[in-house]
Chains A and B, each alone.
Chain A
Amino acid sequence: MPAWEGVSVLGVGTTMFGKQPELTGPELVRQAVFEALDDAGVDSVDAVFAGTVFGAPGTIQRALQTCGIVEVPIITIENACASGTSAFHEACRAVDSGAFGNVLALGVETMTHHFGGAIHPEPTDREGRQGLAMPSIYAMSASRYQSVYGVTDEQLAMVSVKNHQHAVGNPRAQHQRVVTVDEVLESRLVADPLTILQCCSIADAAAAAVVGRTRDGLGVRVRSSALRSGALWDHRSPNVWGWDIVASTAQDAFTSAGVSCSDIDLFEVHDAFTIGEIVTLEALGLAPVGEGALLAESGHSALGGPQPVNPSGGLLSRGHPLGATGLAQVAEVVWQLRHDAGSRQVDGAVLGVVETMGGGTAGVDGNGCVVAVLEREDR
Chain B
Amino acid sequence: MNNVDLHTLDPRPRVVLGSSVELTGSRCTACSYPSTDVLSRCPECSQPMTPCTFGARGRVFASTVLRVPVPGREPPYGLAYVDMIPDEGSGPRILAHSDPTAGALPPGSIVELIGLTTEGDPLVRGCEVDG
Interface size on A, residues (CB 8 A): 39
Is B22 interfacial (CB-CB < 8 Å)? Answer: no
Q: A306 to chain B: closest CB distance in Å?
A: 31
Q: Which of A135, A235, A236, A237 contacts B66 (CB 8 A)?
A: A135
Whether A126 and B68, one on each chain, are in contact in the complex, defined by CB atoms closer than 8 angstroms, is no
Whether A131 and B62, one on each chain, are in contact in the complex, defined by CB atoms closer than 8 angstroms, is no
Q: Which of B9, B12, B68, B93 contacts A190 (CB 8 A)?
A: B68
Name, among B6, B65, B121, the residue most crowded by chain A CB atoms within 10 Å (CB to CB).
B65
Q: How far is the CA of A194 from the CA of B64 in the complex (A)?
A: 9
Interface string of B25-54 (1 = CB under 8 A from A): 000000000101000000110000000000
Tell me whether A147 and B107 are in contact in the complex, defined as CB-CB below 8 angstroms, given that A191-B66, A362-B95 are known contacts.
Answer: yes
Whether B70 and A234, one on each chain, are in contact in the complex, defined by CB atoms closer than 8 angstroms, is no
Whether B70 and A144, one on each chain, are in contact in the complex, defined by CB atoms closer than 8 angstroms, is no
Q: Which of A121, A190, A240 contacts B62 (CB 8 A)?
A: A240
Whether B64 and A140, one on each chain, are in contact in the complex, defined by CB atoms closer than 8 angstroms, is yes
Whether A135 and B106, one on each chain, are in contact in the complex, defined by CB atoms closer than 8 angstroms, is no
Is A293 interfacial (CB-CB < 8 Å)? Answer: no
Is B97 interfacial (CB-CB < 8 Å)? Answer: yes
Whether A121 and B70, one on each chain, are in contact in the complex, defined by CB atoms closer than 8 angstroms, is yes
Q: A7 to chain B: closest CB distance in Å?
A: 35
Which of chain A's residues has its CB closest to B93's CB? Answer: A235
Is A124 interfacial (CB-CB < 8 Å)? Answer: yes
Whether A124 and B11, one on each chain, are in contact in the complex, defined by CB atoms closer than 8 angstroms, is yes
Interface residues of B in 49-83 (CB under 8 A from A): 61-73, 77, 79-81, 83
Q: Chain A residues near B92: list those with CB within 8 A.
A: 234-235
Q: Chain B residues near A148: list those with CB within 8 A.
A: 107
Q: What is the size category of the interface that chain B forms with chain A?
A: 35 or more
Tell me whether A143 and B63 are in contact in the complex, defined as CB-CB below 8 angstroms, given that A131-B121, A136-B79, A192-B104 are known contacts.
Answer: yes
Which of chain B's residues has its CB closest to A121's CB? Answer: B70
Whether B66 and A131, one on each chain, are in contact in the complex, defined by CB atoms closer than 8 angstroms, is yes
Q: How far is the CA of A148 from the CA of B10 in the complex (A)?
A: 34
Which of chain B's residues has its CB closest to A117's CB? Answer: B68
Q: Chain B residues near A188: list those with CB within 8 A.
A: 67
Q: Chain A residues near B13: list those with CB within 8 A.
A: 126
Is A189 interfacial (CB-CB < 8 Å)? Answer: yes
Whether A129 and B61, one on each chain, are in contact in the complex, defined by CB atoms closer than 8 angstroms, is no
Whether B95 and A132, one on each chain, are in contact in the complex, defined by CB atoms closer than 8 angstroms, is yes
Name, among A125, A143, A147, A233, the residue most crowded by chain B CB atoms within 10 Å (CB to CB).
A143
Is A141 interfacial (CB-CB < 8 Å)? Answer: yes
Whether B12 and A129, one on each chain, are in contact in the complex, defined by CB atoms closer than 8 angstroms, is yes
Whether B121 and A140, one on each chain, are in contact in the complex, defined by CB atoms closer than 8 angstroms, is no
Whether B95 and A139, one on each chain, are in contact in the complex, defined by CB atoms closer than 8 angstroms, is no
Whether B62 and A144, one on each chain, are in contact in the complex, defined by CB atoms closer than 8 angstroms, is yes
Q: A130 to chain B: closest CB distance in Å?
A: 5
Interface string of A195-234 (1 = CB under 8 A from B): 0000000000000000000000000000000000000111
Q: How far is the CA of A191 from the CA of B104 in the complex (A)?
A: 10
Q: B52 to chain A: closest CB distance in Å?
A: 14
Interface string of A137-156 (1 = CB under 8 A from B): 00111111001100000000
Whether A190 and B63, one on each chain, are in contact in the complex, defined by CB atoms closer than 8 angstroms, is no
Whether A132 and B83, one on each chain, are in contact in the complex, defined by CB atoms closer than 8 angstroms, is no
* 8 pairs, CB–CB < 8 Å, chain A vs chain B: A120-B71, A124-B11, A129-B11, A130-B121, A141-B62, A143-B63, A143-B64, A235-B93
Give residues in A with beta carbon < 8 Å to B: 117-118, 120-121, 123-127, 129-133, 135-136, 139-144, 147-148, 188-194, 232-237, 240, 362
Closest 3 A-B residue pairs measured CB to CB? A140-B62, A139-B64, A147-B107
* Additional A-B contacts beyond A124-B11, A144-B107, A235-B93 (9; CB < 8 A): A126-B36, A129-B10, A130-B12, A131-B119, A131-B121, A140-B79, A143-B64, A190-B67, A234-B92
Give residues in B with beta carbon < 8 Å to A: 6, 9-13, 34, 36, 43-44, 61-73, 77, 79-81, 83-84, 90-93, 95, 97, 103-104, 106-108, 119, 121-122
